[in-house]
Chain A
Amino acid sequence: MTDSIEESISEPNAKVPSLNKGFDCCHCGQKTNNPLFLTDNFDKKPFCCSGCMTVYEIINDHKLEEYYKLKDLGSQNEAIPVIEQKANYAHYDEQNFQSEYLQKYDDYKKIKIYLEGVHCMACLWLIENTPRMSEEIISANLNYENSLAEFTLTPVARLSSLGQLLGSLGYTPHPIKNDDELQNLKVKEERDYLIRLGVAMACMGNILLFSISIYAGLEGKLKDSFEWLSFFISLPVFLYSATPFYKSALSSLKQKRFNIDLPVSLALILGGLGGLYTLISGHGEAYFDSLTSLVFLLLLSRYVLLKIKQNGVSNSSLEYLSSFGSVKVIDNEGKQKTILAKYLKEEDIVCLESGDLIPADGVVLEGTCAINTSLLTGESNPIKANEGSSVFSGTQVLSGSIKIKVLHTGEATKLGFILSEVNKEKSKLSPIATLSDTISRYFIGVVLLLSIGLVSYFALQGNTSEGAMRALTLLIITCPCALALATPLALASAIHKLSSLGIIVKSEDVIEKIVKSKDIYLDKTGTLTKGIFQVSSWSSISNNNYYDIVWSLEHKAQHPMAQSLKNYIKSMTEPMELPYSDWIETPGVGVSAKIDNKIYKIGKFSSSDPLSTTIALYENEIAVLKIQLKDNLRFDSIQSIENIKKSGFKPYLVSGDSEKNVKNIAKILGIPPEHTFARVTPKDKVEIVKNSPLSIMVGDGANDAMALKEAEVGIAVKGSLDISLKAADIYLSKMGVSPINEVINISRECIYVIKRNMLFSILYNLVGATLAINGYLNPLWAAVLMPLSSFTVLLSTYFWIRRRS
């Protein structure tokens, strides 16, 4: 298991691009240069990482190979290599966890889990076949749209083993509280909408049947009874289906603003009461058919919009992403137990091993270790900590194991402070008022004034019913739903498209902001670089490569550099473990052992330049091999910066790292030195972003979180901390920064489509209004023509979607 810990720290797909022998991973299909081979039982299949290999083994063990057939069938998103989670699910079995997340029944229990990493039809199949893998699972049901799975378990089932199973399949489980009211409310709202829509459609259909005969020239008593029937059938539409319009119109009146629902409600009330009057008085026309069609079509377009939005925005899923790790503490009796990090108290003693995130601010009681503080400070070189050193929440233990005494928890920690800053409201200027909002508002005002004018003009001439009819026609035909539809629809499709590329957007207004932005601020460590050291040169003083010796020495070692060395060796040769004795690992110093009666030691080499770390292999105290390790740029960083510049943005580099490191990276990336900021604290980052209006911030660590929040648009890259995810507006769930280019392109196109849609609907409404005022149209024609404009907007947006994909 320790092996896989290391695997998860180093990126599985980022290997030394040495030899040109590409393999396709048997699980995720990604190209890899130095595959791991699975030998037993299977005929030496290549995998890109041990995560993928484990999943493959599990799937084969349970005779579920069909997964791979299905995978080719309906894959929406690109497969992602499985990053095996080093997760401990022991806290799932805790009492307070269970009461919060589990629904208990007499002979079964249920839990809802948001599964991160569901990406294709085969995932659906695999999840729903988990009952075949474990006796404890009675059934599994996955909602593919929002990655929510519901598991029914036997009463004796242990939640931790469910978590373990899901984790080993490559999904990250995020359990959902059993009384998640928001979720329940959403479901209820959607069902309500559907029922309103159904009622409106049924009533409209029946009324239209009667209208056909009336328009065909039905006369006399039968006509009267048909019209009365239409009236009664339209009542559920007026009184039930249309209530959302009345409510929204009322609330808009209270706020002294016009919204789209105001003219709609007015048309419904005017038309309904007018229709009743003509029925009673016996002359004139009633337009129940037009009015019910209006309600139905409006509800339909809004329902479609709601659905598109849901498909795209995983708003809610982002909430589930924030995880809660578990930690090992030592209780009063000196026994170890696992608890949720959020239940930690001051004075608790926590045991931490390499790979663990430090859950609270504290002081080291026992042991030494190397700590990666890059997430908190942006510093890329590890820091040594021993007895008495202070350690901070949000940093990570790289090697060694320590016991710490907790001094501060929660908000009192450094990280907690950043978190509470992030949770505060954005200290922003007024949000960009969307163009369509402004237009619709003026537009509605003008239309309302015009219809009042029409009624009073004809009333003065003694022809009130003609005036009322023209006003009704005007209200219906100018119903600005195309205008109102244009923006949200295009935004929703843009978000949908982005999400299919693995880019999660929290709110739609981000799209408009991105187009207006000019400056992009990028964090260095962990964002543009991998934040992990990799072998860049391997120079020996003799012909001997020492691969086997280094391999044997580092074989058991814990620190991530050992993993980099091992990865490198594996990519060069098939290593052989030599017999050794007296093996010692000293955190922060190195490893040593006796092989072949010689003492070998791997440790820091004296001369080190700041950009990289050089280590050496000592044979009886003489350096025989020099290995240079570098924090490499991500594979797509240079190209992405290039593209960002091409699309007219100015990239800036902000980092907590040293001046030299930052300048050097900037040079490689083609960012001018005056556009770099080195040695900046999290607060400096906020200031930098604040001073540049309409800026985009890209980052990953806790040190970026406040700036992500403060920037007009915050983008968190894959591997970001929870708190950066919370602060950011956009989350890139795929490795690298190249998705930023996609965000920019799609946003620009989206705004273009919005403008096109609006231009069209304004033109359409001008023509329609002119015809209506001059009496060339009647309300029925208006009701038929009105949705046409919405339809055109839909088509225009639809073709954009098609062209993109």
Chain B
Amino acid sequence: MEALLILLPISLLLGGVFLFLFIMNVKKGDFDDLSTPAKRILFEEENININLNEKQGLKK
């Protein structure tokens, strides 16, 4: 039973970390558009490169 004393806080902490990450990502807008990325992934390799370049361009 003593194991619980260690495992419980760890599980709660992990849960908390993931919840925090989830909230951060929602705020960043990763969940705003759920259908387009699913389609984008079907395009050929070279186009993915274009999309990557875009992102870099945006972050400037």
Contacts and interface: CB of A to CB of B under 8 A. Distances in A.
Interface stretch (A186-194, A281-289, A327-335, A607-615): A186-194
A191 to B, nearest CB: 5
Given A138-B54, A191-B31, A194-B31, A143 B26 contact: no
Contacts of B33: 143-145
A101 interface: no
Given A125-B47, A128-B51, A74 B57 contact: no
Contacts of A233: 12
Contact of B35 (A145, A194, A198, A229): A145
B43 to A, nearest CB: 6
Interface range on chain B: under 10, 10 to 19, 20 to 34, or 35 or more?
20 to 34
B18 A202 contact: yes
Interface residues of A, number: 36
A138 B57 contact: yes
Interface string A119-149: 0010011001101100000111111110000
B15 A191 contact: no
Interface string A196-228: 001100100110010000000000001000000
Given A70-B43, A124-B36, A124-B40, A206 B1 contact: no
A202 B12 CA distance: 10
A144 B1 contact: no
Interface string A756-799: 00000000000000000000000000000000000000000000
Contacts of A121: 39, 42
Nearest to A205: B15
A74 B50 contact: no
B57 A152 contact: yes
A365 B37 CA distance: 55
Nearest to A125: B43
A73 interface: yes
A108 interface: yes
Contacts of A206: 11-12, 15
A278 to B, nearest CB: 22
Contact of A195 (B23, B35, B50, B51): B23
Nearest to B4: A222
Contacts of A574: none
Given A107-B60, A132-B50, A202-B19, A190 B32 contact: yes
A66 interface: yes
Given A121-B42, A125-B47, A129-B50, 11 more contacts: A74-B39, A121-B39, A125-B43, A128-B40, A140-B54, A152-B57, A198-B23, A199-B19, A202-B18, A206-B15, A209-B11
Lowest 5 A-B CB distances belong to which pairs?
A: A139-B54, A144-B36, A202-B19, A143-B33, A198-B22
16 contacts: A66-B44, A107-B60, A124-B36, A125-B43, A128-B51, A129-B50, A132-B50, A139-B53, A140-B54, A143-B36, A145-B33, A152-B57, A190-B32, A191-B27, A198-B22, A209-B11
Interface of A: 66, 70, 73-74, 107-108, 121, 124-125, 128-129, 131-132, 138-145, 152, 187, 190-191, 194-195, 198-199, 202, 205-206, 209, 222, 229, 233
